[in-house]
Structure 1
Amino acid sequence: MMSRRFDVGAFVGLCFGLMLLLFVGSRSGLVEHVAYLWERGRLQALRESLDTDDIHRRNHTNAVVAELVKPAVVSIEKRSRVLTLDSVLQGGADHAASSRGTREPGKENASPSPQGAEADGESDLPDNVAADLGSGFVFDAEHGYVLTNAHVVSGAERVFVRLADGRSTTGRVLGADPESDLAVIDIDLPDLHALPLAKADAVSVGEEVFAVGNPFGLEGSVTKGIVSAINRRGVLIGTTTYESLIQTDAVITPGSSGGPLVNLRGEVIGVSTAMATRNGEYDGVAFAIPVKQVRALVDDLIEGGPGMLGVWVGPLDDPETAEKVEATGWKGPGGVYVHEVIPETGAAEAGVQPGDIILSLGGKAVASLDDLSGLLAKLKPGDETTLGIWRDRRRIEIPLRISRRYAPR
């Protein structure tokens, strides 16, 4: 009986003690402190559950990729003439610098001029000359070939290239293709570092990627993201629609255009080209030209771009052309109408004239614009071929040399 009374008394005492402790603790913050200690222990357990070896490996990989890529990335400054009232009155401006919204490299007036420009006394730009910045990367160290965007060098009178090691030189644009937005620049410097191009199909949604470039003139900037989508079609940038682009959330901003998008092996999987934006700011969506397209075009760009005839042509059944075609006496089938001949091209040298109807190229019939494009795609600049045309109510064959689409400059 005494034992029962003792147990009850002890229990009542314990409850009273706990209530007193809680009362005192609530006043002194003891409860909150105990809760804090419990939460701290939980967080520490979570931290210890992380694979620190894996974290170190990932951070090491990121650092190594950046170290591998940055020496091959270059800063590109183009000098282009812009229209001013004085230059118009003096007749000194023959073209204006292009503007492509978010695609245009960022202007950075405070950036140092290339050494070559300073040596020539051109570091102070005239009022009617604009300096724009973009990015690029060396992909062939032996020949000094740099890959960038066509819009980075568009309208350039002079192009300056600055390497990551500080060396600068004047670059020569070998070829540029606005349709793909790719261009190749030739630089004459020794001891270059080059980036390898990944295999054409080595791009997967979700894989981690790095974009390296010179946004706003900040050289060697590295951002990281993933491949958000591939084969992104119908992307309207400026006034041009692009197909089969890589979409990424790696940050690509003005001045980064033309820089490499690389995988975790430091291989180029794309060329940064544009960001999607509603207000001029980065919104988490950027695009790159896939390496598959780069591989398909790079040789043509080195040789001056895809071959061309040097004519502006149109279909025969166009309402504005039909009357002119009827006047030639051509009854068909097939053919395309020559509206204009570009000076100093193979067509001009061969004597092609506006109003001619092209019937064949290299002995193969031309029934449509697609036929002409397909046949032309098989020819390279400098190739000799024949052009079948309808003129003066008769068919004639004339020899013709395929022209370079873009002469080196």
Structure 2
Amino acid sequence: MTLAPLSPLARRAGLLFTAVASLVAASGLLLSGISTAREPRDAAPRSVSPRGALLGDEQAVINLFEQAAPSVAYITTESEQRNLFGGAEVSQGAGSGFVWDTQGHIVTNFHVVQGARRVFVQLDAGKPIAAEPVGVAPEYDLAVIRLVKPPRELRPIPLGSSRDLKIGQSVYAIGNPFGLQRTLTKGLVSALDRELPTANFREVVGVIQTDAAINPGNSGGPLMDSAGRLIGVNSAIRSASGSSSGIGFAIPADLVNRVVPALISKGRAPLPGIGVTPVRPDLVARAGVSGVVLAEVGRGTPAAAAGLQPYNRRTGELGDVIVGVNGRPVETLSTFVSELEKAGVNNSVELTVLRNERERKVKVKVIDLRD
């Protein structure tokens, strides 16, 4: 058989193919040689530099957390809400709390358990435990629940005092922000004697301001001093985004220590008052009046005994306007209520009142309006 000769173009294509094939073969040998020359060996781990002892303040914080964490509760709630179509939906919430005593009482914020039909508490790394309501104090944003089956070794958190706090001292918050359990943050006492609005135009006085990071889920958890003692209950933050902005507020421990025992023993906390029903603050402000205008004075109350007169709807006369308590100016209802809180039930206060532009002072006994 005779092969037909290749055309010049075919010959050039064949030569090109042969050259490429040779180049590929040579590259393969070259790469094979490189791979063989650089074959990796087993690398040994780097040696660890000795850490040495922890700094004293570091170890102190670690000890504080290890001692306090078992006393901090992770609280979850279930609430029933109506949807747009009239049906029922179950919504879930979460917050923090802490062990008050060995009987299984847990303290938290009122707004954490408000409206909940079921409440569960998880301590340390244990399983959730069902809890039942004991008492609530919306005016103080505090609540007490009780574990249905308390564990044998409950560890109540040590109680401190908020009376002797100093601006600049270190504080520590443990809670469950965004559902992240047992989170520790550190900060300072940024300010004291703040006021925190709660319910029914009332304000909690003596509130602690801190820059310790407090986020949603921290509510109800403990604020502690460097000795690991409870000095406040984390309750609110001031933030445009809803997350920590370095301004958090805690209900002072001295107030907590007055309210919680009352909630445990009676299911409610005292509500200081003098027996008057005030005119709505927005209406008073709209009328340009400074002070507390009385809509009604209850019969047989300390206010009635002191001769206080309410606003006369028929004639439009203001009656008595409370403008001071114990020598302190009162311009709003919340300030008036705060002064009664400071005075306390069964104590007397001196009111400064205006009637027909004439000022006088009267003594009135503070009573528990819930009695």
Provide the TM-score with structure 2 as the length reference. Answer: 0.60
2:71–2:155 CA contact under 8 A, matched in 1: yes
| Partner residue in 1 for 2:205 | 243
1:358–1:366 CA contact under 8 A, matched in 2: no
Post-superposition offset of 1:367: 5.0
Instruction: Indicate yes or no: 2:55 matched with 1:56.
Output: yes
Q: Which has the higher contact order (CA 8 A, sep 6+)?
A: 1
2:65 maps to a residue whose letter is A
Unaligned runs of 5+ in 2: 1-51, 284-293, 309-321, 323-335, 348-367
CA–CA separation in structure 2 for the residues paired with 1:377 and 1:186:
27
Pick one of 135, 140, 149 that aligns with 2:101.
140
Compared CA separation, residues 315 and 178, structure 1 to 2 (3 A): closer
Residues 122-150 of structure 1 show CA distances to partners (whole Å, capped at 9, x for unaligned) of: xxxxx611110000000212x21111111
Post-superposition offset of 1:202: 3.7
Unaligned runs of 5+ in 1: 1-51, 89-126, 321-334, 339-356, 380-401
| Partner residue in 2 for 1:73 | 72
Q: Secondary structure at the match of 2:100?
A: strand
Q: Which of 1 and 2 has greater Rg? A: 2
2:136–2:142 CA contact under 8 A, matched in 1: yes
Bigger share in helix: 1
Post-superposition offset of 1:182: 1.0
Residues 320-372 of structure 1 show CA distances to partners (whole Å, capped at 9, x for unaligned) of: 9xxxxxxxxxxxxxx9848xxxxxxxxxxxxxxxxxx52248xx94756999x
2:167–2:190 CA contact under 8 A, matched in 1: yes
CA–CA separation in structure 2 for the residues paired with 1:254 and 1:172:
23
Aligned length in residues: 254
1:359–1:366 CA contact under 8 A, matched in 2: no
Pick one of 179, 182, 200 that aligns with 2:142.
182
Post-superposition offset of 1:241: 4.5
| Partner residue in 1 for 2:299 | 358
2:75 maps to a residue whose letter is I
1:359–1:367 CA contact under 8 A, matched in 2: no
Compared CA separation, residues 306 and 64, structure 1 to 2 (3 A): same
Compared CA separation, residues 308 and 207, structure 1 to 2 (3 A): closer
Q: Secondary structure at the match of 1:128?
A: strand
1:58 maps to a residue whose letter is D
2:61 maps to a residue whose letter is N
Provide the TM-score with structure 1 as the length reference. Answer: 0.54
Compared CA separation, residues 229 and 306, structure 1 to 2 (3 A): same
2:96 maps to a residue whose letter is S
Matches within 5 A, 1:8-87: 56-87=55-86
Q: Secondary structure at the match of 2:82?
A: coil
Post-superposition offset of 1:314: 2.2
CA–CA separation in structure 2 for the residues paired with 1:61 and 1:376:
38
1:336–1:359 CA contact under 8 A, matched in 2: no
| Partner residue in 1 for 2:192 | 230
Instruction: Indicate yes or no: 2:265 matched with 1:305.
Output: no
Matches within 5 A, 1:259-270: 259-270=221-232
| Partner residue in 2 for 1:128 | 89
Q: CA RMSD in A?
A: 3.6
1:135–1:255 CA contact under 8 A, matched in 2: yes
CA–CA separation in structure 2 for the residues paired with 1:77 and 1:264:
28
Residues 73-121 of structure 1 show CA distances to partners (whole Å, capped at 9, x for unaligned) of: 0111111111213435xxxxxxxxxxxxxxxxxxxxxxxxxxxxxxxxx
CA–CA separation in structure 1 for the residues paired with 2:92 and 2:246:
28
Q: Secondary structure at the match of 1:256?
A: coil
1:306–1:377 CA contact under 8 A, matched in 2: no
Instruction: Indicate yes or no: 2:182 matched with 1:220.
Output: yes
Post-superposition offset of 1:197: 1.0
Compared CA separation, residues 366 and 301, structure 1 to 2 (3 A): farther
| Partner residue in 1 for 2:116 | 156
Compared CA separation, residues 81 and 138, structure 1 to 2 (3 A): same
Matches within 5 A, 1:278-289: 278-289=240-251
1:172–1:185 CA contact under 8 A, matched in 2: yes
